[in-house]
Amino acid sequence: MTVTAPKWPTRPVPLAIEVPDRVPKQRYYDAEFYRLETELLWPRVWQMACRLEEIPHPGDFSEYRILDQSVVVVRTSTSEVRAFHNTCRHRGVRLVEGRGTCSGGFVCPFHGWCYGPDGRNTKVTQARAFSEPNLDPSELDLVPVRCETWGACAWINLDDAAPPLRACIEPFATILDAWQVDSLGAEWWYACRLPVNWKLAQEAFVEQYHVLEAHPQLRIPGRLPPRNPDEFDPEAFVQGELRYLRAMSEGMGGMVHARDVAIAESLAGTELPHDYGQARVQWERGLNDAVSGAHRARGCTIPDLNDLADRGQNDPMAYCFPHYFVLPMYSSASAYRFRPLGPEDTLMEIWSLTRFPDDAPPPPLPVPDWWAHDDPRWPAIPAQDFSNLPRQQQGLHSRSFEYMRLGERNEGHISNFHRVIDGYLAGLSHETLTSALPKVNLNPLEMPIVEIDFAGSAR
Model confidence over 10-26: pLDDT tens digits? Answer: 789 999 999 999 999 99
pLDDT band at 2 (very low <50, low <70, confident <90, very high): very low
Rounded to an integer, the average pLDDT of 372-397 is 95
- Res 416: pLDDT: 97
83-115 pLDDT, tens digit each: 999 999 999 999 999 999 988 899 999 999 999
Examine the pLDDT at 458 and tell me if it is beyond 80.
no
Q: Cα(459)–Cα(455) distance, rounded to whole angstroms?
A: 11
Examine the pLDDT at 420 and tell me if it is beyond 60.
yes
Mean pLDDT, all residues of the chain: 93
Q: Cα(29)–Cα(140) distance, rounded to whole angstroms?
A: 40
278-312 pLDDT, tens digit each: 999 999 999 999 999 999 999 999 999 999 999 99
Angle at 213 between CA 211 and CA 216, to 5 degrees: 85
**Any idea which of 320-324, 441-445, 451-455 has the lowest mean pLDDT?**
451-455
pLDDT band at 457 (very low <50, low <70, confident <90, very high): very low
SS3 helix, strand, coil % of the chain, rounded to 5?
A: 35, 20, 45
pLDDT band at 455 (very low <50, low <70, confident <90, very high): low
Rounded to an integer, the average pLDDT of 221-238 is 92
3-61 pLDDT, tens digit each: 344 454 578 999 999 999 999 999 999 999 999 999 999 999 999 999 999 999 999 99
Q: Cα(208)–Cα(204) distance, rounded to whole angstroms?
A: 9
Rounded to an integer, the average pLDDT of 121-146 is 95
Q: Which of 168, 174, 39 is nearest to 433 (CA)?
A: 168
pLDDT band at 234 (very low <50, low <70, confident <90, very high): very high
Amino acid identity for residue 87 in this structure? T
- Res 114: pLDDT: 96
348-381 pLDDT, tens digit each: 999 999 999 999 988 889 999 999 999 999 999 9
Structural domains of the chain sorted by starting position, each given as residue range(s) with its CATH number in brackets: 22-44+184-209+318-439 (3.90.380.10), 47-161 (2.102.10.10), 215-310 (no CATH)
Examine the pLDDT at 453 and tell me if it is beyond 90.
no
Examine the pLDDT at 277 and tell me if it is beyond 70.
yes
Q: Which of 298, 325, 417 is nearest to 48 (CA)?
A: 325
> Which carries the bigger pLDDT value, residue 217 or residue 195?
195
Examine the pLDDT at 171 and tell me if it is beyond 60.
yes
Rounded to an integer, the average pLDDT of 257-269 is 96
- Res 25: pLDDT: 98
134-152 pLDDT, tens digit each: 999 999 999 999 999 999 9
Q: Which of 215, 174, 458 is nearest to 315 (CA)?
A: 174
pLDDT band at 222 (very low <50, low <70, confident <90, very high): confident
For residue 282, give the 3-state DSSP assignment.
helix
Contact 176, 444 (CB under 8 A): no
C-alpha pair distances (Å), 245 with each of 198, 217, 265, 326, 396: 29, 12, 10, 18, 35
Examine the pLDDT at 254 and tell me if it is beyond 80.
no
Examine the pLDDT at 441 and tell me if it is beyond 60.
yes
**Any idea which of 258-267, 350-359, 449-458 has the lowest mean pLDDT?**
449-458
Share of the chain above pLDDT 70, in %: 97
Q: Which of 445, 213, 209, 410 is nearest to 329 (CA)?
A: 445
